[in-house]
């Protein structure tokens, strides 16, 4: 079952069980996927919609946005809004693969460096491409970039 089907099935189940908060988050996911579909059609791409990797990427961005919002709400003393953001994160994360821990991430980076034969900082793009191809949705590439840079530098 592809990601889009999983989201739609979860959406239908949330409707049936009258889980309003879960339902609204699932609708946001669906809307983000449809927005990406529309953007692709507008650019002349005639494929059957977004791929699972793109859906994972969309959901990863949604989690990151909500984490930033929750932090801002906490700093502003709006704890109820921060909690709402965290509950949305939990719903989105149900569809994401398990995140790699620090040790697993470091092993993956080392393996990617060895795989592409990277020897200098100029090879960073190749390493990042290999990691993104294999670990989309499983690691935060914003944190992995500096790690790769340090190992190659």
Same domain, residue pair 74 and 131: no
Segment 85-107 shows an average pLDDT of: 90
Give the Cα separation of 131 and 144 in Å (integer).
9
Q: Which CATH number do you get for residue 136?
A: 1.10.10.410
DSSP code for 123: G
- Strand, coil or helix: 75: helix
Angle between helices 124-135 and 141-152 (to 10 degrees): 140
Return the SS3 of 71: helix
As a whole-number percent, the residues of the chain with pLDDT over 90 amount to 48
Question: By residue range, what is the domain housing residue 140?
Answer: 102-152
Q: What pLDDT is attached to residue 85?
A: 96
Q: According to the model, what pLDDT value does residue 55 have?
A: 87
Q: Is 85 exposed, middle or buried (0-12, 13-18, 19+ CB in 10 A)?
A: buried
| 127 and 89 both lie in a single domain | no
Same domain, 88 and 108: no
């Amino acid at each position: 079952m592809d990601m889009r089907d999983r989201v739609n099935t979860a959406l239908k189940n949330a409707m049936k069980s009258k889980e309003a908060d879960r339902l609204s988050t699932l609708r946001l996911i669906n809307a983000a996927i449809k927005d990406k579909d529309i953007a692709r059609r507008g650019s002349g791409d005639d494929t059957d919609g977004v791929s699972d990797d793109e859906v994972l990427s969309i959901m990863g961005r949604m989690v990151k946005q909500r984490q930033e919002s929750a932090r801002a709400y906490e700093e502003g003393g709006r704890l109820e809004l921060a909690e709402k953001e965290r509950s949305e994160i939990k719903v989105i994360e149900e569809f994401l693969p398990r995140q790699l821990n620090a040790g697993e991430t470091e092993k993956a980076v080392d393996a990617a460096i060895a795989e592409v034969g990277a020897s200098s900082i100029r090879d960073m793009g190749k390493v990042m491409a290999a990691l993104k191809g294999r670990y989309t949705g499983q690691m935060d590439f914003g944190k992995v970039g500096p790690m790769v840079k340090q190992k190659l530098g």
